[in-house]
Structure formats: structure tokens, C-alpha cells
Amino acid sequence: MLKNTNHLIAPPIDQERKKELKLFQKLAGIRFKSDKLLNLAFAHRSYANEIPVETENNEKLEFLGDSVLGLIISEYLFITSGDKTEGDLAKIKSFVVSEDILATVAKKIRVDNYILIGKGEEYSGGRSKKALLADAMEAIIGAYYLDSGYALVKDFVLRLLIPEIDKVVEDRHKKDYKSLLQEFVQKRYKSYPKYNVVKKSGPDHDKTFVIEVSINNVSYGKGVGKNKKEAEQEAAGIAYNKLNKKSTPKKA
């Protein structure tokens, strides 16, 4: 069910790259009709900007893949939801399609080995960046949908993500502490956590952030990370665990 994708300008593919794409498909348990589409799904903006021939990047495929992924997970949760509410389903879905989980499944099928990135991105550890891996995963989903249709991409996505859905349902998943902290603070203090950058160090391609979280002008911890999101999550985790200890009644 290959849709008309002739207008897309993909990076060139030599014999070595053909072998790499074939190996990736074997690892991922999928088969593309079009190597061009799969190769484009791996092309990060930094790569497209550096190579001497005209090519697009994977951002439009990522945009499509995000929607296809959302539909597949929503449909699965709707069918298997039991007595869960719309709010429960939305929460489960938000965890399952998160950057953390998409980056995790991307590593399982070795997306990091096959992405095409520019030299600067390579030197700054781009192959291990969660955002880059999650975006590539969505682009692959979008490309596979265009190449082979909904039924096959659905099988692919659910094979990778049903174990992650089960973890979330059974509360065995990695927590989104920012969301948990916000819910707790809103309910308990009728307020919101505030995040402030305390320190920023390192060159542009390898920065480290220190971020402090405060509630009602009281500091509850500092987090460190390679980007603001990571540092905020760490700070939120420290604050959330502190607040929960304070709110847990002591045993007699």
C-alpha cells in the first residue's frame, strides 16, 4: 500500500547504506518496500543541512508518525480499557507516547546505530539524545504507514509498546515527576511548583543545567541535567519524594 511519495527528496543511498537499512529492518522485524522512505526517516535536520546534495529531513514524517502513533495507542486503550475513565486513558497514553518511552524502544531496535546526523550533532552525543531518538522513532512510524499501511504499522507499534502500556497500567513505569508534583501541589497547596535556572555551564553543544524547584517561595530541591527538561524532572522528583514523606503519617 505504498502511497505516492515521489515528491519527497531523500538522502542518497549507496550499497553500504542499503546493507545497513536491510539490517535495521531485520532487527526491527519490519520490511519496507521503499528504502528511500526509510532512509528519509533517519535523516536528522543537522545531516540534511550538511550534505552537499539536496535532501529533506525527517520532520514531516515525524509529524505524521506522531498522529499515527496516537491513533494506534488510543484505539488499543479504548478496546482494552475495561472500567477505566477517559482521564485514566489520557494519562496512560501520555506516558506511553512520551519521549522517554519512545527513546527506550528506539534503542531496543538500534535506531541510534542508523540515524543520519551532522558532525556537530555527532560530536555532542546526538546518537544518545532522547529527543532525537524519539523523533526518529515517530518518523519511522510515519514512513512505515506511508509505505505499508495502517495494519502493518499497527502491528509494529503494538509489538514494541504493549509491554510499556502494561508497565504503566501496573504502575511499574518510570514516573513523570513534573506531572506528579504539579498534581500534588495543586491539590494540597492550591498552588503550582516554580522552576528556576540556578546555573548553566558548558559549551553550547554540551551544556549542563541546574534547576531549583520552589513551592510558595520555599525551595524543595535542585536537579541537574543536560537540558532543562532533565534538570526539572530531577528537581521535581526530589521535591515530590520530600513532600510525600512529610505527608505520610508516622507509625505509632
Nearest residue to 174 (alpha-carbon basis) of 244, 224, 103? 103
Is residue 12 helix, strand or coil?
A: coil
Q: Which residues contact 6 (CB under 8 A, 6 or more apart)?
A: none
Catalytic positions, please? 66, 138
Which residues, listed in sequence order, are joined to residue 215 by a DSSP beta bridge? 218
Q: Could you tell me the three cell numbers for 63? A: 509529524
> Which residue's entry shows cell 509505505?
147
CB 48 within 8 A of CB 11: yes
Distance between start and end Cα atoms, the chain: 67
Q: Which residues contact 127 (CB under 8 A, 6 or more apart)?
A: 112, 113, 115, 117, 133
CB 132 within 8 A of CB 42: no
**Read out DSSP for 91-115?**
HHHHHHTSHHHHHHHHHHTTHHHH-
The separation between CA 85 and the C-alpha centre of its own chain, rounded to angstroms, equals 25
